[in-house]
Structures are given as structure tokens and as C-alpha cells.
Amino acid sequence: MVSGRFITLEGGEGVGKSTQIAALSSALRARGLEVIATREPGGSAGAEAIRNLLMEGSDDRWDARSEALLFAAARADHVARVIRPALERGAWVLCDRFVDSTRAYQGGGGGITDDDILTLHLFGSQGLLPDRTFLLTVSEGEAARRLAARDPFGADRMGRKPADYQQRLASRFLDMARAEGERWRIVDADATASQVTAHIMQDLDEWLN
């Protein structure tokens, strides 16, 4: 029996997901909830080891199929060892990216079909999906400014993907959010960080009262 809530934040590079995970964690803990803040790829010892393989090296180190398999393996360990146990004991899990990022990056960006990605997810993670997914969107100029401020020495492999890849990625995220509106919420993250946090917390109120 799952009694906690599983919330994910999605979006391209530089949209402020990590900032919001930290702020939301504090806000929810202030309400007396147990909160697990985690990320993908990563979040468990095995998944963090795979993260190093995925995020380091040249842009062409892995093709899209290899990336999808590695992400699915990391996610399976993360779900089994961290996410499901936390949900079962009633904790709220806040995750910076989940399977929807694979659907966008390796799907929209890399050309892998959604069916193939979700089949891997069904096998590896038993098809677990978030209760709510927030897509943070920012203008192209604002994303570039944030990335430059965060990482002056250059982005990781995913951040170094070419412009046409990033455009396909953004389009795929929006397509998913609009098609699956019961689970997704689109948030304008050009607003201040505190305004974005307030917007998300307002949306979560139905589960907090």
C-alpha cells in the first residue's frame, strides 16, 4: 500500500529544478511531512555509479539506445531502493527528473519511440509514475544566463547537446504535458524562484489540507 506522494520536476537545462526541489522540501517539512529529495540519474548507490557513466565524457560517448538502457537500469535501482520504500512508509518523494526526461531526451531528442521507453520502464521500475509532474519552462535567453552562472566551465553531456536537439527536447516536454494534463502542470519559471515555489505549493494544496 502506497500512502506517500511522488512529485517530479521536469524541464530542459537551466530551468531551476534543483532550486525548487530544495525550496519545496523545506516548505513540506515545515508542515511536518517526511520528505525525500532525490534526483535522476542517481539517487541510490547503484544509480549514482551509472550517473557517472551517463553524464561524463564526450557528447557522442553513448547513442540514444545505450542512454535509454542505462537510464532504465539506474531508475530501476533508484525506485527499488529509495522511492518505493519511502512512499510505502508515507513519505513525500521529490525527484529532479524521472522517466519523462528519458521520454524527452532519448525520445524527442534521440528518436527512441515512447513505447520502447515505457516498455523498459514497465520492466525495470514496474511502471511507477509520479502523482504530479511540474514542467518548468524558461525563455531561451534566461536558460542560457542561468547555465552560464551555474557552470562557467561548461555543461555536462546533456547540456552540451546541439541546439536542434534542445529544441526537439523542449517540444517533446510540452507535448507530453499537454497530452497528459491530469498529471502534468506547466509552470513559467521565468518568474522569481519564490514565486515558482508558491505556485507549486498552491497546486499541491489538495493533498495538504
More reliable by pLDDT, 149 or 177: 177
Least confident of 95-109, 131-145, 148-162, 168-182: 148-162
The residue type of 140 is: E
- Confidence label for 102 from pLDDT (cuts 50, 70 and 90): very high
Three-state SS string over the chain comes to CCCCEEEEEECCCCCCHHHHHHHHHHHHHCCCCCEEEEECCCCCHHHHHHHHHHHCCCCCCCCHHHHHHHHHHHHHHHHHHHHHHHHHCCCEEEEECCHHHHHHHHHHHCCCCHHHHHHHHHHHHCCCCCCEEEEEECCHHHHHHHHHHHCCCCCCCCCCCCHHHHHHHHHHHHHHHHHCCCCEEEEECCCCHHHHHHHHHHHHHHHCC
Q: State the CATH number of the domain containing residue 199.
A: 3.40.50.300
How many CB atoms sit inside 10 A of residue 56's CB?
Answer: 10
pLDDT of res. 59: 78
Joined together, the cell numbers standing for residue 175 give: 507535448
Query: Which residues neighbour 175 within 8 Å (Cβ) at sequence distance 6 or greater?
Result: 108
- Confidence label for 35 from pLDDT (cuts 50, 70 and 90): very high
Distance CA 126, CA 37 (A): 21
pLDDT per residue as tens digits for the range 15-27: 999 999 999 999 9
pTM over 0.85: yes
- Confidence label for 158 from pLDDT (cuts 50, 70 and 90): low
More reliable by pLDDT, 14 or 147: 14
Distance CA 36, CA 25 (A): 8
- Check pLDDT > 80 for residue 149: no
How many domains is the chain built from?
1
Range of the domain at 172: 5-207
- Check pLDDT > 80 for residue 142: no
Least confident of 48-62, 140-154, 174-188, 189-203: 140-154
Return the closest-CA partner of residue 79 out of 20, 116, 127: 127
